[in-house]
Amino acid sequence: MRTSYDVLRSLKRFGSVILGDDYEIHEAGDEGATARPMMMVKPTATATISGPRHTMEYTQPFALYAYPEPGETPYESLHVASTVEEGLITAFRIGGIGEGHPGRVPLYDYDSVGADEGSDARNEPDYARLLDFNIERMQSVEDELLWTVTAEVRLGWYRSALLLSGERTAQEVRIEIDES
């Protein structure tokens, strides 16, 4: 369908490919999402929709907050955070991770999938375009072993602006003209 929620879920899936099985990936607002290592993914601003009557060009900014596990020392923690930062840069700007390409995030079809389920269904080639990318690595002021890596991505994609037809198709059309 290529809704903004499909793109959010695809971005979560891409994050899990980038960071690996050790990381839990959550949408912002998930309860109990506090254990490191994890990543939170959320839209950060209003989406922009433009384009002609049959196609919408959708632009949406998202933020990815990666919380790596702390190391034994501040330097080990910095090393882990730097590795996460480099993985995100490689995935979004260089490519070669999972089904991603430079400046492209693979989109998956979640149309008939429940909210708790994943999807491998794709329409090839189906990607969101990376329009902007910013990344920052920050150390906690309360605990020098804790780091957060924040990536801001602005993605763009196209989706149909036409109404979906129902399952029934008209077999014939009759027109009567009253000439009185």
Q: Which pLDDT tens digit goes with each residue over 71-108?
A: 999 999 999 999 999 999 999 999 988 888 899 999 88
Reference 129, options 13, 3, 1, 7; nearest CA is 7
pLDDT value for 120: 62
Q: Which domain holds residue 11?
A: 4-160
144 in a structural domain: yes
Kindly state whether residue 115 falls inside one of the protein's structural domains.
yes
Low-confidence ranges of the chain (pLDDT < 50): none
Run of H or E including 82: helix 74-89
Domain annotation covers residue 167: no
- CATH number of the domain that 121 lies in? 3.30.2000
| Residue 124, φ and ψ in degrees, nearest 5 | -80, 140
Say what the pLDDT of residue 11 is: 92
Has residue 169 been placed in a domain? no
Q: Answer yes or no: is 165 within a domain.
A: no
Residue 63, SS3 per DSSP: strand
DSSP label of 59 = E
Q: Whose structure tokens read 């607002």?
A: 29
C-alpha distances out from residue 62 to 20, 151, 165, 173, Å: 20, 8, 31, 47
Separation of CA 158 from chain center: 15
Question: Which residues are within 8 A (CB) of 19 and not within 5 positions of it... i.e. 6 or more apart?
Answer: 25, 37, 39, 66, 84, 87
Is residue 62 a part of any domain in this protein? yes
Number of folded domains that form the chain:
1
Helix (H/G/I), strand (E/B), else coil: 67: strand
Say how far apart CA 105 and CA 132 lie, in whole Å: 12
At 40, is the secondary structure helix, strand, or coil? strand
DSSP secondary structure code for residue 14 in this structure: H
- Does 33 fall in a domain? yes
Is 166 within a domain?
no
Q: What integer pLDDT is reported at residue 35 of this predicted model?
A: 85
Quote the CA–CA distance of 80 and 170 in Å, as a whole number. Answer: 61
Q: What is the rounded distance in angstroms from the CA atom of residue 163 to the CA atom of residue 118?
A: 26
